[in-house]
Amino acid sequence: MAGLYFEEFEVGREYHHEFSRTVTEMDNTMFSLMTMNPQPLHLDAHFSENTEFGQRLFNSLYTLGIMIGMSVYDTTLGTTIGNLGMTDVKFPKPVFHGDTLKAHTKIISKRLSQSRPTQGIVEFEHTATNQRGEVVASCRRTGLMHCKPQPKA
């Protein structure tokens, strides 16, 4: 697997993920409907034309998912046990249909688990930018990570 074990994470290290994703109207409509979110800002073109944005907004929770998802290959693919939480979630600029997103990750902190001796806790800071380099999303995520397997005696 491409993911890193707990010991391989370095506090302060930054990852500029190569994957990018252009978001579409279909993505937005499907995600909003699958999550039972009837917000007309996502689904109703006529309604949205009369807002300050003049068009539909891309669903922010999908933006969050894409941002974190783009980080997985470089950081946690196959080595994570699960997410423990997310804080400081922000969406400073709107995302629209046709925007292309890129993600960046910085390692904020890490510590061994006190209750699970073969696991550690890593705090990630994720940031997403659009094709103009504007920050459109950010969050801090805490993940429970596997430590490197020890050789069997």
pLDDT in tens, the chain (153 residues): 689 999 999 999 999 999 999 999 999 999 999 999 999 999 999 999 999 999 999 999 999 999 999 999 999 999 999 999 999 999 999 999 999 999 999 999 999 999 998 999 999 999 999 999 999 999 999 999 999 988 876
Query: What gap in Å lies between CA 80 and CA 117, rounded to an integer?
Result: 15
* 40-66 per-position pLDDT tens digit: 999 999 999 999 999 999 999 999 999
- What are the backbone angles phi and psi of residue 42, rounded to the nearest 5°? -100, -30
* Predicted model pTM: 0.93
Residue 1: per-residue pLDDT: 62
Q: Hey, where are the domains in the chain?
A: 6-23+59-146
**Any idea which architecture 6-23+59-146 has in CATH?**
Roll (3.10)
